[in-house]
Amino acid sequence: MLLGDLGAEVTRVERPVEAEVIPGVTSESDVLLRGRTVVRADLKVPAERDRVLDLIAGADVLVEGYRPGAAERMGLGPEDCAARNPGLVYARMTGWGQSGPRAHTAGHDINYIALTGVLDNIGPAGGDPIPPLNLVGDFGGGSMFLVVGVLAALHERTRTGRGGVVDGAIVDGVGALAQMQWSMRGQGRWSTGRGNNVLDGSAPFYRTYRCADGAHVAVGCIESRFFRTMLDGLGIDPGSLPPQWDRPRWPEIASALETAFAAAPREHWAELFRDTDACVTPVLTYDEALGDEHLVARGAFVRTPVDAAAPAPRFA
């Protein structure tokens, strides 16, 4: 989808009949499949495999997501494809990578972010780790890094004329995605697990608060001047609170903010802080996000034919 949104002509090769179908899911409603042509082929049949090789011969990029060695056994590995197309960028997407003890075992997003230490940092202090949907592993550490590798390989090809193999492993991408936390850990500014960290919901100035109507606002005023702007809006005297960065007393600050936000409904706070630098925003549902004035003005969502995110990034 990302490559197609950027203007690539994408052909998706599917089995003649998909073995596992999710009830209620159609190609029209699955917006991840937008912008591509579908070719059906049984890759275990030599004639149909050769038909796909003919497509590969004229392609710039091949993306495959089999377990290591599966494409080679079908005669569609990097060497097979390079023989037909020396300039091909062969992009391999797996969870564990092409090598290592787990390379041939199954896994999902939650497993990859668990093994890399990331999941242990997501969730309430004293509670259980909570999977952040499948955004961090599948799409953040997986797809995004694979696309970066593909674009870099295409750029390299303009200089050498040769293609290459991109080994995209979700565990590798997740590790790089969490580099800021690794850096803070190395500086002694990140605690193991959940609690007492700036970005994990422990800091009173970087978390969500429940409002009088049961809805929530998100607070992200890390910088001191933004923190003061938030306190001004809430009518709280800064002198009545501990210093912003006095970590042992963060619960006191959080308690004061909880009381303040609980005194009015979400929309009151959304309107109060709308044009300020307090870094306070309403926590919207997907339905509400479709009508947000900023996102509407940006054209952040499209109807194709169901609601979906618009292509990103944009080019001027």
Return the active site residues.
108, 138
Q: What pLDDT shows up at residue 305?
A: 82
| Average pLDDT rounded to a whole number, residues 247-257 | 96
More confident residue, 63 or 192: 63
Contact criterion met (CB below 8 Å) for 74 and 49: yes
> In this structure, how many other beta carbons lie within 10 angstroms of the beta carbon of residue 83?
11
- Beta strand pairing call for 89-94 and 164-169: parallel
pLDDT in tens, 170-203: 999 999 999 999 999 999 999 888 888 999 999 9
Closest C-alpha to 305, from 22, 40, 26: 26
Q: What pLDDT shows up at residue 27?
A: 62
> In sequence order, which ranges of 58-143 are alpha helices (DSSP H)?
70-73, 78-84, 109-115
Which H helix or E strand runs over 261?
helix 250-261
Decide if pLDDT at 28 tops 80.
no
Average pLDDT, the chain: 94
End-to-end CA distance of the chain: 21
Euclidean distance between CA atoms 33 and 238, whole angstroms: 51
Euclidean distance between CA atoms 136 and 131, whole angstroms: 9
